Chains A and B, each alone.
Chain A
Amino acid sequence: MQCILTALKAESQPLIDHFKLIRDSTYPFPVFRNGSISLIALGVGKKNIHHRITTFYNSVQENNIQFINIGIAGGNPTSTKIGECYFLHEIKDEMSGALYYPDILVKHSLEEISLVTVENVVSNGESRYRGLVDMEASEIFNVCSSIVPLQRLAFIKIVSDHMDLKFEEIIALPISTLILNHLASIELFFIRFNRLLKEETPILSETDLEWIHNTIQELALTETQSLQLTHCAKGFRIRLERREFPEIEKISTLNKSTQKILFRKICEKLST
């Protein structure tokens, strides 16, 4: 599953429309979903981030979630262009000084840049910050990296201003249009990023695990034997992706020695 994280409604709307997301009213805050894509609206600043992301994460069945923060940011006038879209490779939390480094693991055509997360809108910071500024990224990294591994985080920012506007002026900007202009590259990134999730698919499927479970029960395997069976099963599955696991011989009287013989036979079958 891919979960988009946004701050402003104007950032969410073009993404909701594009991915045809529908409001899920079971949450007490704005969550939108469609199949394998979801969006959580976090609001401006850090205050709701922990609660909203963890509530969502704990409520979904899926473990394999990628979090993608998409939003606008203020940019240094000499190093950034208004309307340009960037990937973040470094995030600094201004208040704590903590540094975070998102892994950039897919090929992309965007520029990469660093960002500082600040507490208040920066309206005269043109020379103070080398890259971008926003009010959420560091907290998003902090929260998400505590629940999913680093390869599942990505940060995409579009420059809305050169750190010379007040909050009211920023939200009056055509923010949705800024996002809309980059939907094609955002979508391409989603497709490529999603491929990484496949690399994390467990070797054994639910059906495989069920077979292992049944075998353990039927043969009353010890803990060590169960572990060995699981390893043999993984080796089998790697070698033979589609083949079914071997049938377990039915035996009316299972004693210690027949159990051992049966167990050995199964392991042999799995290993050849």
Chain B
Amino acid sequence: MDYPLAQIALSKFPKAKFVEIEHYKDIFNRPKQHFQIQKSSMKLILAKKTAPFLYPASEMIQEYETPNVFYTTPILNCLYNCDYCFLQGMYPSGNLVIFVNENDFFKSIQEKLKNLENPLKPLVIPISYNTDLMAMENIIPITSNWIKFVRELDNLKIEIRTKSALFSSIENISPPKNVILSWTLSPLEICEKYERTAPPVHRRINSMKSAIEKGWLVRLCIDPVLLIDRWEDKYNRFITDLFREIDGKKLVDITLGVFRMNKDYFNRIRKRESRSDIYYDNYIIENGTVTPPIELRTHAMETLKKHILTIHPKMRILIWE
């Protein structure tokens, strides 16, 4: 508990009751927990992570044009609770684990940089893969600490994906060249139905706008695209409206992808009787991934790509296919 991050977290909850435990898994990995009930009364677990600190990135993540892609987990679980989130199927618990030994994460990255599979390409690390890191920034400044750490490292890029409206918490940091802030946005109907606990989309857009204005590298993620009733109209209208608000030319790129999930996670969520209709649609299983049938998803991705390109013909679009 002597770690600075632990002290900061503790200071944010002066009335909290602390329970000392031996290992975070003694609580987090217990069988017979109810993920969703715990989500409505989340507990914060402060823990020290042991190696490994980097994991090979899954195929669910869009292509980064480098073999050196790894993800890391400074936090397990998320403050938000999107219906389509794979974390529900990945973790046995809805509680949040924060790893407070961030220097060990940083050291492992320095080591990795010395042993890259292809040293000519950069090491890319999505650091907000199993959480929404920026959403936690008011509680614990992990995002800003990572930004400060990577600033001086030439051959490293990090991506911080978020649905938060908390850009204000890092806006005083000058934007480094190797940090991409990625906002996941969805049409209002999707946000209201499937992302109820995340900030409203207009607040996310405002945060994204501020980041662009301050000179940050910003990526737009329309991912997952949910093929709901009249999805075409809804997503196309959303994209048109969005580009009236933000300057698309200033985006690094856009990532698109339909709903997809590791089959085991998906089945676990179904078994837990998720109350989201997403889990009772018809999908196919392709290489262990649950996803809409190929014709549907290709059509969806082509439609949206075409629409984006009519507005911004030069936009770089990364697609999960």
Q: Do A and B bind each other?
A: yes
Answer yes or no: A151 CB below 8 A from chain B CBs. Answer: yes
In chain A, positions 197-256 with a C-beta closer than 8 Å to chain B are: 199-200, 202-203, 228, 231-232, 234-236, 238-239
Per-position contact with A for B266-295: 1 when CB-CB < 8 Å, else 0? Answer: 000010010111011110000000000000
The winner among A107, A148, A271 for most chain B CB atoms within 10 A is A271
Q: Does A13 contact B (CB under 8 A)?
A: no
Q: How many residues of B contact A (CB 8 A)?
A: 24
Q: Is A105 part of the binding interface, using a Cβ–Cβ cutoff of 8 Å?
A: yes
Q: Which residues of A contact B281 (CB under 8 A)?
A: 235, 271
B22: min CB distance to chain A, Å: 8
**Set of chain A residues within 8 Å of B17, measured between Cβ atoms:** 89, 112
Residue pair B37, A151 in contact (C-beta under 8 Å): yes
Known: A114-B19, A232-B280. A150 touches B34 (CB 8 A): yes
Report Cα–Cα, A90/B33, bound state, in Å.
Answer: 16
The yes or no answer to B38 lying at the interface (CB within 8 A) is yes
The answer to whether B280 touches A150 (Cβ under 8 A) is no
Interface string of B245-259 (1 = CB under 8 A from A): 000000000000000
Q: Give Cα A243–Cα B13 distance, bound, in whole angstroms.
A: 46
- Min Cβ gap B215→A in Å is 44
Is A183 an interface position by the 8 A CB rule?
Answer: no
Closest chain B residue to A200, Cβ basis: B34
Q: For B26, what are the chain A residues with a Cβ–Cβ distance below 8 Å?
A: 99, 101
B36 an interface residue at 8 Å Cβ cutoff? yes
Q: Using a CB-CB cutoff of 8 Å, which residues 125-161 of chain A contact chain B?
A: 145, 148-151
Interface string of B37-51 (1 = CB under 8 A from A): 110110000000000
A22: interface (CB < 8 Å): no
- Number of inter-chain CB pairs below 8 Å: 65
Given the known inter-chain contacts A103-B38, A105-B41, A151-B34, please indicate yes or no for A90 contacting B19, CB distance below 8 A.
Answer: yes
| Contact status B276-A105, CB under 8 Å | no
Q: Cβ of B230 < 8 Å from any Cβ of A? A: no
A196 interface hit (Cβ, 8 Å): yes
Residues in B neighbouring A145, C-beta threshold 8 A: 32
CB of B36 within 8 A of CB of A101, answer no
Among the interface residues B30, B37, B281, which one has the most CB atoms of the partner chain A within 10 A? B37
Do B30 and A150 touch across chains, with their CB atoms under 8 A apart? yes
Q: Whole-angstrom distance between the alpha carbons of A64 and B304 in the complex? A: 46
If A89-B17, A150-B32, A150-B33 touch, whether A238 touches B27 (CB-CB below 8 Å) is no
Measured between beta carbons, the chain A residues less than 8 angstroms from B32 are 145, 148-150
Residue A170, interface by CB 8 Å: no
Q: Smallest CB-CB separation from A145: which chain B residue? A: B32
Cβ contact within 8 Å between B30 and A238: no
CB distance from A164 to the nearest CB of B (A): 26
Q: List 22 A-B contacts (CB under 8 A).
A: A89-B19, A90-B19, A101-B19, A101-B26, A101-B27, A101-B30, A105-B38, A106-B41, A114-B19, A149-B32, A150-B30, A151-B34, A199-B34, A200-B37, A231-B279, A234-B279, A234-B280, A235-B277, A235-B279, A236-B280, A238-B280, A271-B281
